[in-house]
Structure 1
Amino acid sequence: MGSHFVMYIAKMQDNSRSAPPPVDVERFIFVVDGAVTLTNGSDNSHSLVVDSFAYLPPNFQHSIDSDTPATLVVFERRHSYLGNHVPELTIGSTDKQQLLETPGEIFQLRKLLPTSMAYDFNIHIMDFQPGEFLNVKEVHYNQHGLLLLEGQGIYRLGDSWHPVQAGDAIWMAPFVPQWYAALGKSRTRYLLYKDVNRNPL
C-alpha cells in the first residue's frame, strides 16, 4: 500500500535552522540528542531538550533552531482534515506523560499526543524491561514508524525475525504481523508512530 507519512532523522549543526514543511503538512519532532529552540510566528519560543517533543499543526508558522549540534526524529504527513476538528500546537516531554493501562500486557505505555478526533496520528513511547515481550502477535490496519531509543531486542515482521538495537528504525506496513521481545540487560524504549482516527480507505 505504501507509506503515507515521512519519518527521518535530522542532524542539526551549529547555528542551524529548519525549513518549513509543505502546505497542509503537519510535523512532529522529538529530541534524541542535544537541545533546540522552537519559535512560532508570534515570536513565542520553547526550549526542547532530550525526550521533549512538539507537534506543529499544518500551515503553522515556526522554525526550529539549534545553537549546537542536535539530533531530532521528525514525522511529517499531509493532514487528513475531518469536519471542524482542528489540531493544536502541542509541546511536552516524555516524563510528563501519564502511564496508561495496557490490559493483558506488561510494557509501559505513554501517548504523546491528544487522542481527540482532531489528530490523525499519535506517537507512543513504549518501555520494556529485559525479557518482557508483547503477549500477542499484532495484525491491524495501522502503519507504524518505529525508532529504538534504548536497549536491544528482536522484532518479528511477518515471518522474518530482526535483531534490533538503539538507533535502528522500522517501518511496518498495514496488516503485517508484528511482535517484539526485549533482550539484553537494560530497558528497551522505543518511539512508535501510529495513524489513528481516520478510515484507512
Structure 2
Amino acid sequence: MTSTYYAPQGGQPGQDQLLTDRAVFTNAYAVIPKGTMRDIVTSFLPFWSQTRLWVLSRPLSGFAETFSQYIMEVQHGGGSDNPETDPRAETVLFVVEGTATLEVNGAIYELTPGGYAYLPAGRKWRLHNQHPQTLRFHWIRKAYEAVSGLDAPDVLILNENDIVPTPMAGTDGKWATTRFVDPSDMRHDMHVTIVTFEPGAVIPFLETHVMEHGLYVLEGKAVYRLNSDWVEVEAGDYMWLRAFCPQACYAGGPGQFRYLLYKDVNRHMTL
C-alpha cells in the first residue's frame, strides 16, 4: 500500500554537504530535522531482529518528562516476540510505511499505513514484518498512571482512514483533529492524534498549556512559533514541546500540513 506519510530512510550525507541545519535544542522545545535521521544515529533494542530505530524523545532532565517516542524500521522477516520489557509501559503504534503483523490477546492484525494500535500496560504482544516492503512505524511509550476506581483501557486497533476528523470550532474545517480515543474516556492518560491544517490555516494564538507534546510532521510544511522563536518545519521533522511552551503555527501549503501529536492528559499533577 502506498503511503503519503514521510518516514526516514537513513543513509549518510556526503562529505561535501554543509554542516548547517535546522536542529534546535532549548529548555523549552527541540526541533529534530529529518536530515539528522541518518544511519549513524540509529539505535537497537533487545529481542528485536532485523530492526533499528531512531529515538525522537526520551525522559531526560530538561527534555521529555512523560514519554518516549521511536521511529522503528523493521526489515522483511524481522520483529520481536518480546517487544516491551517494561510492564509499566503502555504503547501506541502508528504505521507510516509497510505492513505490521501484530498479535495481541490471541488475535492477529495487519496494520497498514494509517494503522493505529493502543496496547495497555502489561499486555503481551508480538510484532513482525512478514511482507517484502520495509516496515516503518512510530512507537510511543508512557508509564501508565492507574487511578483507583478506573479500569485499565482496552486494546484498540484502528486506522485513521476510517475516522472522520473533528473540526476545530470556527475554522470551517481548515483545522481538524483525527481522534483515536474518546476525549471523555478518563481511563486514558495520554492521547495520540493526527492534526490537519489546510494551506494557510493557523493556530491563531500562542497556546500555553500543561500538556507536554511530541509532534512528528507526516506531511507538508509550516512555520511554527515555539516560545519566542519562529522555526520552519516540514514532513519528517520532529518537535518536542515542554509543558507551557508557547506555540502557534501557519500552514505553508501548497498541500495539507499534518502531524502526529502526543500529549499527556486526564491526571492530577504529580506533587
Pairwise same-fold verdict (TM > 0.5)? yes
Identity %: 29
70, 76, 84: which one aligns with 2:149: 84
CA contact (8 A) 2:198 2:253 kept: no
CA RMSD of aligned residues (A): 1.4
Q: Which has the larger radius of gyration?
A: 2
Aligned partner letter, 1:26? E
CA contact (8 A) 1:104 1:135 kept: no
**Alignment partners' CA distance in 1, 2:233 and 2:190:** 24
Deviations 1:32-69 (A, max 9, x none): 11111110142x10000001110000011101111231
**Alignment partners' CA distance in 1, 2:190 and 2:267:** 9
**Alignment partners' CA distance in 1, 2:182 and 2:84:** 23
**Counterpart in the other structure of 1:48:** 111
**Alignment partners' CA distance in 1, 2:198 and 2:178:** 15
CA contact (8 A) 2:208 2:247 kept: yes
Q: Do structure 1's residue 11 and structure 2's residue 87 form an aligned pair? A: no
Structure 1-normalised TM-score? 0.94
Deviations 1:138-173 (A, max 9, x none): 000000111100001111110111111111111110
Query: What displacement does 1:127 show?
Result: 0.9
Counterparts of residues 125-164 of structure 1 (less than 5 Å): 125-164=194-233
Specify whether residues 170 and 192 from structure 1 end up closer, same or farther in structure 2 by C-alpha distance, changes over 3 A only.
same
Aligned partner letter, 1:78? A
**Counterpart in the other structure of 2:137:** 72
Segments of 4+ in structure 1 off by > 6 A? Answer: none
**Alignment partners' CA distance in 2, 1:128 and 1:178:** 15
Q: Do structure 1's residue 112 and structure 2's residue 203 form an aligned pair? A: no
Query: What displacement does 1:98 show?
Result: 2.7
Q: Do structure 1's residue 95 and structure 2's residue 157 form an aligned pair? A: no
Q: Which moved more, 1:95-104 or 1:158-167?
A: 95-104
Q: Which moved more, 1:52-61 or 1:125-134?
A: 125-134
Query: What displacement does 1:26 show?
Result: 0.4
Aligned partner letter, 1:15? G
**Counterpart in the other structure of 2:190:** 121
Deviations 1:4-39 (A, max 9, x none): 100111111111113224111101000011111110
Equivalenced residues, count: 200
**Alignment partners' CA distance in 2, 1:99 and 1:145:** 20
Deviations 1:171-191 (A, max 9, x none): 110010001111131111111
CA contact (8 A) 1:141 1:200 kept: no
**Alignment partners' CA distance in 2, 1:110 and 1:136:** 21
Specify whether residues 188 and 23 from structure 1 end up closer, same or farther in structure 2 by C-alpha distance, changes over 3 A only.
same
Q: Where in structure 1 are there 5+ consecutive unaligned residues?
A: none
Deviations 1:92-143 (A, max 9, x none): 0112223224224440111112331110001121111111111221000000
**Alignment partners' CA distance in 1, 2:219 and 2:212:** 22
SS in 1 for 2:166: coil
**Alignment partners' CA distance in 2, 1:143 and 1:21:** 24
**Alignment partners' CA distance in 2, 1:136 and 1:123:** 22
Q: Where in structure 2 are there 5+ consecutive unaligned residues?
A: 1-61
Structure 2-normalised TM-score? 0.71
